[in-house]
Structure 1
């Protein structure tokens, strides 16, 4: 947002440098990102002053040159060689002094230097208007008619003072500052100087009119206030220079005087206006209503738009839309060069309604920017009168009828209770109640009631336990002082509607602190707390980032896919609509449901890459799935999914490429689980509608991951031409279990010991069964069980296979002895033989 300092000073007089004002605004939360110096003419006429020609003589060595002496306010007149034919003694002229940089019209800039011209010294230059960028004439020097003293800066004479333009990074919660007057209000509190609204006391409207425009609010909730004014004898033409200069200073291009006035008032007061050609209003009637479904409307940019039932439109008496309320005007109802009668609109629209329409139709305008954040309903009539007076000045308009102002239910100020003790608690420093009162008054926040309340005020026991710092006012001391002086401890405040973000006590305290100054809150030399904080809950976002780094470090690439997808991916003959969440207003049959699984959208990414000969893929995605519950309602679930397809690595002279495998996928999943504190999850055969075999991994006896090969039917349905390995992790479930495993443990002081066994078992026995047997048999010393080889061959016998398993043993209290290790291993062998029928290969 651009704010002109020169414009701003018409609302709050101040002579402080622009840089100081920028620092004040930044300190209060209106961050000034840059300050641009803006000059009416290049160079701003710096180094140019007014002077008087004292004498004029012919140059002895040049017929067309004159020798002059000029008084420029110095003790000694200056000799200047001049080539203008009209120079004469007694003239008031513009003199460029030595060192001045001149920017001539249509020429290159040049610097004035002390020089000799045909042997005569020249200490400056008497200027023509084209030589200093003020015009095109070069017939002679400018001769001025002025009583200003010699030495007066030429910029002051021509009224060409430079301007500074603030670029403010306006945050969404500061809609109250989205105008020059909004920034002036902020400076009023910061500078303790009065600011004023434009004077509209000269506005006059007839008490009655033969013709006026009727206004009907058909949806007062969407348009709580709508005002309008009929103007006649309007002459549409280019705006005067002052108005064009104001708009150009903030980056707006002038259009015509009517449109320029509405833009001027918008940026001056923050109240959007719209001008209709009154002769285009059927029945002299304005209807503020919801659009008809499918209704066509051509906006000012020439685009035909299809309206929806929740779009708010300004329509005429026939119901024909004239504008999208608060967003954009229509092509047929706008002001043109032939317009002579104008109906001016000034309104307050509900922010949510404007925001939805602007988002739906992808229209972002200066008006929608303000309406969707919240404007001031009390500014509506004043902005209308301000625009009318300006149109009288620049377009010759006359007010033809009384102001129409439909405001069925006035918007009242927001009532907020403020505890003075709470101010100190949140700010961290005692602020005198008189200073708080002053700040609130400067911010237009009224104190409507003062309460002596020892329970909710400073006597709150929770807020009086901190001992006083030496040399500082403690909460207890302040409380006693307020009680002795019978001061109120709680105020009821009326917050004006233009402060849309101030609705709670904390919001009011933030306003107080902004104006009091963050830099004025002193840091105490000894900060302390009366309790020890609990171990903080883990931040799910940081955990997600750590897991993402882990996968990216293994060569996986993160993808982000659309939550809206095609219902045909999930509908089968057995379950044509199994828990799908359908969209009510979808634009395409291919994007009509919220995804119940991330797999199809991920397979679309795989297909896109494979079709472009990028076949070796390692992908992962964090995303949400959605399903409709049988009893009604909906459920969202966060998941992490992993995809593997193609080769694990490119073929080189050192190694041949190998196909991605289930074990590679399982290794990646197990590393993620280990990073979350689940190093050895149990497993069972997978049950998943999209997988053809695989495993379900369990943590604390609950399934947390399912992985395996995507079934051929699913790959065919998604037109994927190569096998894909897929893992689906229940991220929400893992986060819940992760918190319960946050237990700090001392690092072991004694070494771990490894022992290996080779077990021959039936082919149906899984490694997970062997691991569970080992865990049950030894709970104290066994730290890890791992399989490092699996063998099946004829020499083992039919239906048999061999597992080579390693065991890590460790005692946290002492070094393990051979006797203790042998006891554990013998116990494990015994249990393997009894429970799994294992034969130990020695």
Structure 2
């Protein structure tokens, strides 16, 4: 809701309160003011000018040479390109030295050889949006009424010397979707009175009920419909002050009658509609539900197909308006209109919302009906509009109104005790203070002992229960004045558990390693549920699945991750690395809830390194993914507790798969996806792992200890062993480290040979061994003694001997 500071002063005395101060007070009382816009910011030196002469520019077809009186000693010559500029007009002139929006400065200039001392301005050049400028001035300059005073401030004449407050209203505060609603709020905040608009008028002798009959077939959708008749209206422009107020609120002016209905919409929050009485084609207004398939052309010249969900205003036979949303082209007010039927009605918000949504017609009127209008403001809004039409359109308002009234909305009556108010707010308010707050809100109240009973006006439909009254007291008393207290009792500061911290470490590490996090469905199909499961259990079926593809709770993360890889590969994103942390669901029998166990899974495919400039390309392989996993275990301090053992897993390559063990217990696997599965998914070589994250993160680790850099040199010995093909390198490495302790510090594989020069069933595997002592320099004799012990242990325990 945009609220003009100057306009608001018509209803509330704002003396001594600036727009910014008012915005702060409104915000502190519970309605957020999102901003205050100064409309004339950056504009100065613009006055009302009078075009005394206009002639064609001698050297340009599209320019005019104008002699303009700007209230100075002498008229000035201004070159203007506007097509509608003419002699006798009162226009906005930016004088020499003036500033326009965008820091545009006006200087003396020569245009095609003719001197120009200023600029005749359009409204757009003064900072107004084109969509709110009256159509007749959209392509040219704006023309003031003839009574505008030459030399006066044009910005003030256009009401641009104003500030606009933008209220961010919540749905429950629909009462502030009007200037009067905001006035009541501001008056309560400032402790001032509200001055209501003038509505008194002298009615003609004829009665409105003699000209039209109202029939409502659906009173639940339209409990109140009042129609006033205004005869002998003269269609023309509305007064400048009304046009500018509408434009400042974002509404384009049209003519006096239509502008008055829009003005009342903003002033009272009550949507009105004006029909051309003579074009209705009957003396009856029938409000009914539309027929299915019924056609209707709205004011925007779009033919719309209606349904029985939509409420329409008809002339007894055909629709003339879509109730609460938009009028019809067949009854709109035109320049020839002389008699107006003015509709003031109360429509059901849900019905209006349905029509507005179905037809994509979200209007200022529909927005207010949807949120709820004040039923007791319907008739006063109609009276105020009729008064303005008599005053500014020269109309004769007929006596009374033709109406149907079955409205039964009553004000809410709520009682609350002083003890509860103070207990909830933590205050020590007295009953006189509480009553004063309700008086400022203009809520009727009565006190009996310690209980106050409040009758909330119908404009405040949000007041229904005791807590609503407490909120009103709190915000008007001032949230800043409510005492602050510290919680009583023991409390524990919130923090992450060790498990949660380690989970974050896992995610940060994997993302740092180049993997993207994926979040996949916990639901899958029955045939995928058991694939790659670390623990085989019966699948858990949903009682009412939405589809067969999402009917079972997953036992593994990998099937969904492989679907992610397939989806990306089909879109030519064929080098991808993703991971997921999520729960799998393990059945515990028919009558027990399933166990949720957190897993970690990852999948990589395509190129791991691709440096085009250096000509380097490295496709992913088993050891790329294993290296990432080893780095993760090192980050968690579990390197010495984890081992990899060759294994067979359904769906994975039989020769490129390993089981992951933690302290000797299996916690997951790593390997290449089986070639047949890769073919089915149309993937390149893809490597995956899945493990129990719960087991990893719950494993206890020792505190990190730092060791000084050795001062003494180490000695390295390389050995090439001949061993059986079935003997895995991990077994040999463990034997080496055990036999060489404590002098042997490191051992790692650096070569493997299984060629035709090896004995059948044998392989050559080479290790590099590093010996060191932090306290002294080792001799060759000491190293040789330990080295021979290592070789003996290898031969004894694994049958591995030095290659000759």
Using structure 2 for the length normalisation, give the TM-score: 0.57
CA contact (8 A) 2:310 2:354 kept: no
Tell me the distance in 2 between the aligned counterparts of 1:389 and 1:640: 74
Instruction: Say yes or no: does 1:29 pair with 2:46.
Output: no
CA contact (8 A) 2:224 2:403 kept: no
* Deviation per residue, 1:13-57 (Å, 9 max, x gap): 232333332232232233334434446997488999xxxxxxxxx
Tell me the distance in 1 between the aligned counterparts of 2:566 and 2:330: 50
Instruction: Say yes or no: does 1:179 pair with 2:178.
Output: yes
Q: 1:513 aligns with which of 474, 482, 496?
A: 474
Structure 1 position 83, deviation (Å): 5.3
Q: Unaligned regions of 5+ residues in structure 2, if any?
A: 50-70, 77-89, 99-119, 127-140, 529-540, 585-589, 591-596, 708-722, 731-746, 768-796
CA contact (8 A) 2:48 2:154 kept: no
CA contact (8 A) 1:2 1:165 kept: yes
Instruction: Say yes or no: does 1:616 pair with 2:575.
Output: yes
- Within a 5 Å distance, the mapping from 1:568-579 to structure 2 comes to none
Tell me the distance in 1 between the aligned counterparts of 2:445 and 2:246: 38
| Deviation larger for 163-172 or 672-681 | 672-681
- Within a 5 Å distance, the mapping from 1:703-714 to structure 2 comes to none
Structure 1 position 799, deviation (Å): 14
* Deviation per residue, 1:51-79 (Å, 9 max, x gap): xxxxxxxxxxxxxxxxxxxxxxxxxxxxx
The aligned residue for residue 488 of structure 2 is 530
* Deviation per residue, 1:304-328 (Å, 9 max, x gap): 666677x5432537786655554x3
The aligned residue for residue 433 of structure 2 is 435
- Within a 5 Å distance, the mapping from 1:624-639 to structure 2 comes to none
CA contact (8 A) 2:287 2:311 kept: no
Tell me the distance in 2 between the aligned counterparts of 1:789 and 1:497: 85
The aligned residue for residue 774 of structure 1 is none
- Within a 5 Å distance, the mapping from 1:426-575 to structure 2 comes to 426=425, 429-447=427-445, 450=448, 488=450, 491=452, 493-503=454-464, 505-521=466-482, 528-534=486-492, 536=494, 552-557=511-516
Quick one: structure 1 residues 546 and 298, their matched pair in 2 at CA, closer, same or farther if it must change by over 3 Å? Answer: farther
- Within a 5 Å distance, the mapping from 1:136-175 to structure 2 comes to 162-175=161-174
- Within a 5 Å distance, the mapping from 1:353-392 to structure 2 comes to 358=356, 362-392=360-390
Aligned length: 638
Tell me the distance in 2 between the aligned counterparts of 1:177 and 1:749: 66
Quick one: structure 1 residues 20 and 320, their matched pair in 2 at CA, closer, same or farther if it must change by over 3 Å? Answer: same
Structure 1 position 8, deviation (Å): 0.7
Quick one: structure 1 residues 200 and 639, their matched pair in 2 at CA, closer, same or farther if it must change by over 3 Å? Answer: farther
The aligned residue for residue 587 of structure 1 is none
Structure 1 position 104, deviation (Å): 8.5
Structure 1 position 413, deviation (Å): 1.8
Structure 1 position 191, deviation (Å): 0.8
SS in 2 for 1:198: coil
Tell me the distance in 1 between the aligned counterparts of 2:675 and 2:315: 62
SS in 1 for 2:193: coil
Quick one: structure 1 residues 413 and 44, their matched pair in 2 at CA, closer, same or farther if it must change by over 3 Å? Answer: farther
* Deviation per residue, 1:327-373 (Å, 9 max, x gap): x325535624155443514324335x655665565544323433444
Tell me the distance in 2 between the aligned counterparts of 1:542 and 1:384: 65
* Deviation per residue, 1:707-760 (Å, 9 max, x gap): 998899999999x665667899999x99xx99xx899x9978999xxxxxxxx9
Structure 1 position 82, deviation (Å): 4.7
The aligned residue for residue 407 of structure 2 is 407
- Within a 5 Å distance, the mapping from 1:84-123 to structure 2 comes to 105-110=92-97
Q: Unaligned regions of 5+ residues in structure 1, if any?
A: 49-79, 86-102, 112-128, 145-152, 451-486, 571-576, 584-591, 631-636, 752-759, 768-786, 805-837
* Deviation per residue, 1:94-136 (Å, 9 max, x gap): xxxxxxxxx984453348xxxxxxxxxxxxxxxxx99xx9999
The aligned residue for residue 776 of structure 1 is none
Tell me the distance in 2 between the aligned counterparts of 1:730 and 1:748: 24
Tell me the distance in 2 between the aligned counterparts of 1:280 and 1:602: 66
The aligned residue for residue 11 of structure 1 is 11
The aligned residue for residue 574 of structure 1 is none
Tell me the distance in 1 between the aligned counterparts of 2:175 and 2:3: 14
SS in 1 for 2:608: coil
Q: Which structure has the bigger radius of gyration?
A: 2
Structure 1 position 664, deviation (Å): 6.7
Structure 1 position 3, deviation (Å): 1.0
Using structure 1 for the length normalisation, give the TM-score: 0.55
Q: CA RMSD in A?
A: 7.0
Tell me the distance in 1 between the aligned counterparts of 2:159 and 2:507: 58
- Within a 5 Å distance, the mapping from 1:252-291 to structure 2 comes to 252-276=251-275, 279-280=279-280, 284-288=285-289
Tell me the distance in 2 between the aligned counterparts of 1:225 and 1:394: 31
SS in 1 for 2:429: coil
Structure 1 position 764, deviation (Å): 14
